[in-house]
Structure 1
Amino acid sequence: MQRAFFHFFAHLILQEQHRRFYSHHLGQDIDMLVFGSWGYPVVIFPTSGGHDNEARDFKLIEAARPLVEAGRVKLFCIDSIDRYSWYAKHLPPAVRVQNHVFYDQFLSEELVPMLQRECNVDKIGVAGCSFGGYHALNFAFRHPNQVAHVFTMGAAFDIRQFVDGHHDDNVYFNNPPEYMPHAHSEHFHWMNIILGTAEHDFCKEDTCRMSALLAHKGINHRLDIKPFGNHDWPVWREMFPQYLNTI
């Protein structure tokens, strides 16, 4: 009886690994939770100011459990540095966006190469809810040679509201509505792009505008508007496994 209970309980616990490693670009340690033993790598960005445990605590990982346990995907929940960048109101706007550039360099030059080696892939997937969706899409469009799948859920993409009127090249090249009309890469046309929102999501218009921009450029993508729901986790938990299933 005890052995049967142990096996049942073990099945309930999804394999989780905590990693902390030093980023040379950020000059600090950064945390990441990993779910699954093998599968296609998908990096999940947290919402505004969120941490690596957010997707687990709000049951987004649980929603994807069948795909993780089947070895279809391996999920990497990375910490954000929003408190030092976009949401760092105590810092000058130029410093905020520069800190985000350091984060982008950490992702492209440290994290992604590590995942490419670990999972034996050329490209990865990225995903995020709300502000995490901005991070996912911005990273994918800045580095299309590194990303094959991008899933956004309830996201907005114009970051000019975070820089108090300041504008420089760093702002421009991290603001997808600005740089994407002029961006060109064959990798855009190979990318699996899903933009998810809900009928009553206050970010719906932003998501629809991004969809229109991509359509104007002839970039294939899917705009998924759920008929009910708003800007909240129950909608995102419904979307996430559906989107992962397209990998």
Structure 2
Amino acid sequence: MDGHRVELPVPGRDASLGVIRYGHYGRPVLVFPSEAGRAEDFANNGMVEAVRTLVDDGRISFFCVDSADRYTWSDNSLSTEERAQRNHLYTRWLEESVVPWIGDQLGGPEPLISLGVSMGAYHAVHFTLTHAEVAPLALGLSGNYDVSSWHGWGERGDATYFANPTDYVAGMHGDHLDWIRSRVSLLLVVGQGAYETHPTGALPSSLAFAKLLELKGIPHQLDLWGNDVAHDWPWWQRQLAHHLPRFC
């Protein structure tokens, strides 16, 4: 099964998106690719090899998914609200196709780690914050967590609000916030080098989002890397190898 691509149906559409598993045992990790990426990208860019010992020793098992960004957040012909509405269908695919398939692979449901780089970091953190019962821990590498900063236009409505961690975390209160505090843990990792500020906005967004999490009392860690650390795969390999062993 290792490295074999499986196509899973998109609910309500005559379409499918792919999932690839790496590893046969260990803590399951749901992996989101960078913007408009595919399930193959994680391994093709050296991320599996960066933690090969964890995979071979049965400590970790990666479940890498395709993105749908080219039809959602990356389609600048659509308003921000329309892109958020389309992203809801991607969330349904994760809920109704991917998570059950992972459970079948594991012989039953197990808590997931959600992991992503660049725009995938947004997906990972958003998935944990909205599906904490499934994936209580998220690792976001070089993420931007405010969708309204992504070259958006048009009026923003409920779809954008509920797809935007910067919006809905700011609005959390009461019993729901207490439950999130008791369940969720987030790790935000970002460098201060090339492309982490322009054009991605990852550095300022990660700093601002960490402050928001602190204000709301949501467990998190911000790991700020140096001025030489770029928004690129070689650094994400090092960050993954640095952090992942303590979670598995």
TM-score category of the 2 structures, normalised to the smaller one: 0.7 to 0.9
Distance change (3 Å), C-alpha of 1:182 and 1:122: farther
Residue 152 (1) aligns with residue 140 (2)? yes
Residue 125 (1) aligns with residue 113 (2)? yes
The residue aligned with 1:242 is 242
- Would the aligned equivalents of 1:52 and 1:79 in 2 still touch at CA under 8 Å? yes
The residue aligned with 2:17 is 30
Q: CA deviation at 1:185?
A: 4.7
The residue aligned with 1:216 is 215
Q: Given the two structures, how large is their TM-score scaled by the length of structure 2?
A: 0.87
1-structure distance, mates of 2:85, 2:160 = 9
- Would the aligned equivalents of 1:152 and 1:194 in 2 still touch at CA under 8 Å? yes
Residue 50 (1) aligns with residue 43 (2)? no
- Would the aligned equivalents of 2:84 and 2:159 in 1 still touch at CA under 8 Å? yes
Distance change (3 Å), C-alpha of 1:27 and 1:77: same
Letter in 2 for 1:169: D
Letter in 1 for 2:87: H
> SS at 1:245's partner residue?
helix
Letter in 2 for 1:194: L
> SS at 1:71's partner residue?
coil
> Which structure's CA Rg is the greater one?
1
Q: CA deviation at 1:231?
A: 1.1
> SS at 2:136's partner residue?
strand
Q: CA deviation at 1:168?
A: 1.0
1-structure distance, mates of 2:17, 2:114 = 18
- Would the aligned equivalents of 1:140 and 1:146 in 2 still touch at CA under 8 Å? yes
Stretches of structure 1 that go unaligned for 5 or more consecutive residues are: 1-13
The residue aligned with 1:21 is 8
Q: CA deviation at 1:234?
A: 1.5
Q: CA deviation at 1:191?
A: 2.6
Q: CA deviation at 1:16?
A: 1.7
Q: Given the two structures, how large is their TM-score scaled by the length of structure 1?
A: 0.88
Distance change (3 Å), C-alpha of 1:144 and 1:49: same
Distance change (3 Å), C-alpha of 1:114 and 1:188: farther
Output the aligned Cα RMSD: 1.9
The residue aligned with 2:232 is 232
- Would the aligned equivalents of 1:145 and 1:187 in 2 still touch at CA under 8 Å? no
Letter in 1 for 2:188: L
Match of 2:92 among 105, 108, 111: 105
- Would the aligned equivalents of 1:51 and 1:78 in 2 still touch at CA under 8 Å? yes
Residues 19-28 or 224-233, more deviating: 19-28
> SS at 1:47's partner residue?
coil
Count of residues paired in the alignment = 234
Letter in 2 for 1:179: Y
Report matched runs for 1:185-196 at 5 Å: 185-196=178-189
The residue aligned with 2:157 is 168
1-structure distance, mates of 2:109, 2:243 = 19
- Would the aligned equivalents of 2:132 and 2:183 in 1 still touch at CA under 8 Å? no
